[in-house]
């Protein structure tokens, strides 16, 4: 058995019907985990499970459906009904949108905190006791470079991801000495469907994608050392490592997969 083997483990990945979440689900399944795919509607989740099973069906892991809007108490209960216990919890769900700072309403501030922060807190409360009781578990919160380098065009998003770093560190202390690790993953600008929409919201819409991507990085993310968008699978690789026994001494951390975007030695 390799140390990356997650056979026999159950993982829940929120917001995993597409993008980074789907890549994480696929990576964990390849490592042998039984992966619960989550999204707001049963239809979207069922379609994602079918697609993932078709694309990765030869791997050792498997996929199951866990629909529910985890930004609500009712949604968390629906997910828990499908997945009563989890060994690996990946809080990937997140929303983002550019907005002039002075035009962000109170309701938008609340919505970003509810979806990007409190959803993770609810799920940690739900699954951490089981992990600590069994003496093994992994909680991974997908943060962002925006947690450290607050973007002028979406400070509400940056605020929520900064809060997620604090949540991660705090719950790592709660799990101290139990065999459960809690970490945040700081993802950099990533190539997803939503990411493409965001890029085109800030550059000329008629540019071919390769040119649009370069223009976006040049104008809005010039400090990136990678000088391109990160692929979702590159984020997933870090998550799978942190979910594995190899990362047993890594907890309370904020680990960067940001292409060198954050210009600092530490987060």
Q: Which of 24, 1, 51, 266 is nearest to 142 (CA)?
A: 24
Q: What b/e sequence results for 166-184 when a residue is b if at least 16 CB atoms lie within 10 Å of its CB, and e otherwise?
A: ebbbebbeebeebebbbbb
Q: What are 125-142's pLDDT values in tens digits?
A: 999 999 999 999 999 999
Please report the domains of the chain, with CATH numbers, ordered by start residue: 10-190+231-256 (3.40.50.720), 194-229 (no CATH)
For residue range 229-239, what is the model confidence (pLDDT) as tens digits?
Answer: 999 999 999 99
| Closest CA relative to residue 14, chosen from 59, 98, 78, 109 | 78
The pTM for the full model equals 0.93
Candidate list 112, 127, 157, 261, residue with the active-site label: 157
Average pLDDT over residues 185-209: 91
* Mean of per-residue pLDDT scores for the chain: 95
Using alpha carbons, list the distances in angstroms from residue 236 to 103, 169, 186.
Answer: 34, 21, 12
For residue 1, what pLDDT is reported?
Answer: 46
Mean pLDDT calculated for residue range 134-154: 96
157 is catalytic: yes
């Amino acid at each position: 058995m390799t140390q990356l083997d997650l056979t026999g483990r159950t993982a829940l990945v929120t917001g995993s019907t597409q993008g980074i979440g789907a890549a994480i689900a696929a990576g964990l399944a390849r490592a042998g985990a039984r992966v619960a795919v989550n999204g707001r509607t049963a239809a979207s989740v069922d379609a994602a499970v079918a697609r993932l099973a078709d694309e990765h069906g030869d791997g050792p892991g498997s996929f199951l459906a866990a629909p529910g809007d985890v930004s609500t108490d009712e949604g968390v209960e629906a997910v828990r009904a499908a997945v009563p216990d989890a060994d690996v919890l990946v809080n990937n769900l997140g929303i983002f949108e550019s907005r002039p700072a002075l035009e962000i309403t109170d309701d938008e501030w609340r919505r970003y905190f509810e979806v990007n922060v409190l959803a993770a807190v609810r799920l940690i409360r739900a699954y951490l006791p089981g992990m600590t009781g069994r003496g093994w578990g992994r909680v991974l919160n997908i943060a962002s470079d925006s947690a450290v380098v607050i973007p002028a065009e979406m400070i509400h998003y940056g605020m929520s991801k900064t809060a997620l770093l604090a949540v991660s560190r705090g719950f790592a202390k709660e799990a101290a000495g139990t065999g459960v690790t809690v970490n945040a993953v700081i993802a950099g600008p990533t190539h997803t469907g939503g990411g493409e929409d965001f890029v085109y919201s800030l550059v000329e819409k008629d540019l071919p994608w390769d040119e649009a991507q370069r223009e976006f990085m040049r104008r809005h993310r010039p400090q990136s050392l990678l000088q391109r968008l990160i692929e979702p699978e590159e984020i997933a690789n870090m998550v799978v490592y942190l979910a594995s026994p190899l990362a047993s001494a890594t907890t309370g951390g904020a680990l960067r997969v940001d292409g060198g975007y954050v210009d600092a030695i530490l987060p």
